[in-house]
Amino acid sequence: MVENVVYLIRHGESVANTQGIYQGQTYDTKLSALGEKQVNALGAFLAEKPIDRIIASPLKRTRDTADAIAKWHDGLTVEIDPDIIETNHGAWEGKNVHVIAKLWPEEYRTWQTQPSKAAFPGGETYAETRERALRWWKELLPTIRGTTAVVTHDNIVRALLTDMLGIEQDMLWNMELQPAAITKLNITDGAVKVSEVNNTNHLEGLQANLANHAL
């Protein structure tokens, strides 16, 4: 039996994360000072792993995180895949979480308590994000050989994990996902085992204060 590995990685902390701003697809800020340290630590940690492929969302924060991994692996280039881009948050993008809670109280409450029913004004529903992520995974799975690093976003990782672990969608906030944390999947003959969730061993002293983030 041949075992393959996928590392699902949330991007490093961005400037918008530190400001409690929803970024979505259009408010595409760079990594924060802490985020830069996080992705450097991530890259150094994965330098010891035999990475065969790197796939990233097209946004700056994910591409910069993926580049921090790729630089340790000669000849390895980052593949950009739009299907693992962050949720389209529509009118929320570029706005602080407190502003959103005031302007769209019902929609915000639904997102925090019943994400399976959440719809972002002018953007996607969370169900559409999840469907997109699961479709991408179904198409990727048969192509995985060796070790693949996937650099994406909080919502995408949660969508995949709740499905793989058989967790109710509305329980997705019960998991903590740090920026630049690693979730490890072991794949044997097409069977997927989640062996690590939110591994932050490489982020000692570099973990973000998630209370500041707009999730």
Structural domain of 67: 3-21+29-87+126-208
Give me the mean pLDDT over the 10-23 stretch.
98
pLDDT value, residue 167: 94
Total count of domains within the chain: 1
> Which residues are CB-contacts of 11 (< 8 A; sequence separation ≥ 6)?
31, 35, 39, 57, 59, 61, 62, 64, 65, 151, 152, 153, 179, 180
| pLDDT above 70 coverage of the chain, percent | 100
pLDDT in tens, 96-152: 999 999 999 999 999 999 999 999 999 999 999 999 999 999 999 999 999 999 999
The pLDDT, as a whole number, for residue 102 is 98
CA distances from 120 to 61, 62, 150, 165 (A): 22, 22, 25, 26
Whether pLDDT at 2 is above 80: no
In a domain, 119, yes or no: no
- Helix 154-165 to helix 126-140 angle (10° resolution) is 70
Residue 171 lies in a domain: yes
Mean pLDDT, range 167-188, rounded to an integer: 96
Residue pair 27/16 in contact (Cβ under 8 Å)? The answer is yes
Kindly state whether residue 113 falls inside one of the protein's structural domains: no
Looking at the predicted structure, is the pLDDT value of residue 76 above 90? yes
Q: What is the pTM of this model?
A: 0.96
**Is residue 144 in some structural domain?**
yes
Q: Give the pLDDT of residue 78.
A: 98
- Establish if 80 belongs to a structural domain: yes
pLDDT at 191 over 80: yes
Q: What is the predicted pLDDT for the residue at 3?
A: 87
pLDDT-based confidence at residue 1 (cuts at 50, 70, 90):
low
CATH code assigned at 138: 3.40.50.1240
